[in-house]
Amino acid sequence: MSFFSYNFLGDIMRVLKYFILFVILCMPISTKAYETSATSAILMDIDSGKIIYSKDIHNKRSIASISNIMTT
């Protein structure tokens, strides 16, 4: 009969499993903020109309052509 019984190893594995789960749940969740090099921008949720991100949206700007927007 070996020194470590099956029941003892099962208990160690169970404790190790819960320890790993605890460590994963305690890790901080990082989120990356929206960044753009544009002088002004707006990002809206299409369903609710809620503004998710805005940058200098109240200054009036001239309208750009669609080809200019798609290529920059």
> Above 90 in pLDDT, residue 64?
no
Which two structure tokens, joined as six digits, stand for 32?
Answer: 């990356």
12 inside domain: no
27 inside domain: no
CB 50 within 8 A of CB 44: yes
Question: 49 lies in which domain range?
Answer: 41-71
25 inside domain: no
* Confidence (pTM): 0.41
What SS3 class is residue 71?
Answer: helix
Mean pLDDT is lowest, of 3-7, 13-17, 47-51, for 3-7
62 inside domain: yes
Diameter over CA atoms, the chain: 84
Which two structure tokens, joined as six digits, stand for 55?
Answer: 């940058």
User: How many structural domains is the chain composed of?
Assistant: 1
> Above 60 in pLDDT, residue 72?
no
35 inside domain: no
